Chains A and B, each alone.
Chain A
Amino acid sequence: MITKRIIPCLDVKNGRVVKGVNFEGLSDVSSPTALAKYYSDNGADELVFYDITASAEGRALFTDILCEVARTIFIPLTVGGGINTLDDFDRVLKCGADKVSVNSGAIRNPALIGEAAKRYGDQCVVLSADVKRVDGVFRVFAKGGRENTGMEAIEWIRRGVASGAGEVVVNSIDTDGVKNGFDLELLQEVCNAVSVPVIASGGAGCIDHFTQLFQAIPTIDAGLAASIFHFGEVAIPNLKEELHKQGIPVRR
């Protein structure tokens, strides 16, 4: 039986993981390679690296680090942040990324999804969408959630999948950071609309929120989170043990 995936997300700026982390036994808590290895050894099913660097130097550093990570750990790696062109896809895929996540780049140029899918395969293209309710309607936001594009989110995601996105990460701005649970209403709508894997993001505060997610929406494929893993509030082995007890298939 296919298992539900648990995915930590690491934001990298100028070669270091930001949003500080706090693990015992990890000497360099902001080293992307050390953290990636820690997560890989402790049951993460996949890792997402998000490049939040703005400068060209930072970007070059990011790809160097990605190569180092890909030489060290052997689980799927998804890379996002600053992906605007096919050259950007090329740049991170050559460094060992398995999937590339597009967000604002696809909003500026929706054709990017189809072009990338044609060149690298659907399985390689992940559409990441930041979604927020505005007057009761789910809207897509760009620029890290700061700018309302006015586009209706479910339709945007449906179009992205039709163009070739092989997976969707849905980040709810409404629940992100609140630690009150995933946005089940939004995620259910997305799962009803597309037939590719859907990864839930935004709102996880404790183990129970993952259990709720997978029980409420059996077709959701994965749960993604950052700070609760980084700060050690939720340890992935404990999370998986609990999911297993609740009858949710996980890789342990």
Chain B
Amino acid sequence: MIAIVDYGVGNLFSLKSSLEAVGADVTVTGDAQVLRQAERIVLPGVGAFGDAAKKLQDSGLAEVICQEANHGKPLLGICLGMQMLLDVSYEYGEHKGLGLIHGAIRPIADVIPAGYKIPHIGWNALQFPEQKHPVFRDVQNGEHVYFVHSFHGTDCADHVAATTEYGGILTAAVARDNVVGCQFHPEKSGDVGLRILKAFCQGEF
């Protein structure tokens, strides 16, 4: 069973549907016990980092997620859920993340030239490093996924699992062994996104 963490942020209908479309048995839950029993965990999120991180801490689920990830359970963060995997975010202040992957969330405006629209919204191409994380095993360089974001991961060099180009180089995905984060929305990225979700649901890492 795959658990989608429900901590009151955003709408999980599409995410649940997309995981079901790749054959997963999915539970949407805010229950620590269910997260402990799950084989894999998906951490979604939309909105502001500070609010979401506080909700995750206050619910007590942050601790459970970290424990499970540190014991090797596959964890996939999506969009804001990916950002929360990192140590810290500088979105409207300074907010602590889960610290499962080293790095900091900073404005994409720091690396893109003036004249580019922010947020970065739309379909953009992925570029992978030579050593591709298994979650991206079925996706090729140059395939497109759907992004909606104004901040991205920085200082996570060793753990950058994919990048995308938008006037500058943006972090599209991060990964450290069993912990993976996608800045883009695999549940809204058509066939390419479903391939990533399928690899997450079935892969060994």
To the question of whether A and B form a pair in one complex, the answer is: yes
Given A74, A95, A121, A167, which contacts B190 in the complex, CB threshold below 8 Å?
A74
The segment from B35-43, B56-64, B115-123, B173-181 that touches chain A is B115-123
Q: Does A108 contact B (CB under 8 A)?
A: no
* Known interface pairs A5-B123, A197-B122; A74-B117 also in contact (CB < 8 Å): no
Min Cβ gap A36→B in Å is 12
- Other-chain residue from A76, A121, A196, A221 in contact with B188 (beta carbon distance below 8 A): A76
Our pick among B166, B187, B188 for the contact of A2 (Cβ within 8 Å) is B166
- Counting residue pairs across A and B whose Cβ atoms lie within 8 Å, the total is 76
Q: Give the size of the chain A interface in residues (CB under 8 angstroms).
A: 30
| B125 CB within 8 Å of chain A | yes
| B27 interface hit (Cβ, 8 Å) | no
Asked if A217 CB lies within 8 Å of chain B CBs, one says no
- A70, A74, A121, A195: the one within 8 Å of B189 (CB): A74
Instruction: Map CB proximity to A onto B168-197 as digits: 1 under 8 Å, 0 otherwise.
Output: 000000000000000000011110011000
A123 sits at the interface (CB 8 A): yes
Is B99 part of the contact surface with A, judged by Cβ < 8 Å?
Answer: no
Q: Would you call A74 and B123 a contact (CB within 8 A)? A: no
Q: Point out the residues of chain A lying under 8 angstroms from B148, CB to CB.
A: 123
Report whether A74 and B121 are in contact in the complex, using a CB–CB cutoff of 8 Å: no
Nearest CB of chain A from residue B153's CB, rounded to whole Å: 18
Is B46 interfacial (CB-CB < 8 Å)?
A: yes
- Residues from chain B with a CB closer than 8 A to the CB of A251 are 123, 144
Complexed CA–CA distance, A203 and B13 (Å): 34
B21: Cβ under 8 A from any A Cβ: yes
Query: How far, in whole Å, are A1 and B127 apart by their CA atoms in the complex?
Result: 11
In the docked arrangement, what's the CA distance between A123 and B123, Å? 15
Residues of chain B lying within 8 A (CB to CB) of residue A3: 122-125, 144
Determine whether the beta carbon of B47 is less than 8 Å from that of A2: no
Q: Is A45 an interface residue (CB 8 A)?
A: yes
Q: Write out the residue numbers on chain A whose beta carbons fall within 8 Å of the beta carbon of B17.
A: 70-71, 74, 96
A94 in complex: contacting residue of B11, B118, B146, CB < 8 Å: B11
Interface residues of A in 1-20 (CB under 8 A from B): 1-3, 5
Residue pair B187, A74 in contact (C-beta under 8 Å):
yes
Contact flag A195-B121 (CB < 8 Å), given A70-B13, A75-B146, A96-B14: no
Is the CB–CB distance between B119 and A5 below 8 Å? Answer: no
**CA of A167 to CA of B146, assembled, Å:** 15
Q: Which residue of A lies closest to B147 (CB)?
A: A2
Given contacts A45-B123, A195-B118, contact A74 B166 (CB under 8 A): no
A22 interface residue, CB < 8 Å from B? Answer: no
Does residue B165 face the partner (Cβ distance < 8 Å to A)?
yes
Q: Is the CB of B166 within 8 A of A98?
A: no
Q: Which residues of A contact B83 (CB under 8 A)?
A: none
Partner of A98, one of B165, B188, B193: B188
Interface string of A179-215 (1 = CB under 8 A from B): 0000000000000000111000000000000000000
> Contact flags (1/0) for A57-80 with B, using CB distance below 8 Å?
000000000010011011110000
Q: Which residues of B contact A (CB under 8 A)?
A: 11, 13-14, 17-18, 20-21, 46-47, 117-125, 144, 146, 148, 165-166, 187-190, 193-194
Q: List 6 A-B contacts (CB under 8 A).
A: A5-B122, A45-B123, A74-B21, A123-B119, A167-B121, A219-B117
Top 9 A-B pairs, shortest CB-CB distance: A251-B144, A251-B123, A96-B13, A71-B17, A3-B123, A123-B148, A96-B14, A2-B124, A2-B122
- A interface vs B, CB < 8 Å? 1-3, 5, 40, 45, 67, 70-71, 73-76, 93-96, 98, 121-123, 166-167, 195-197, 219, 221-222, 251
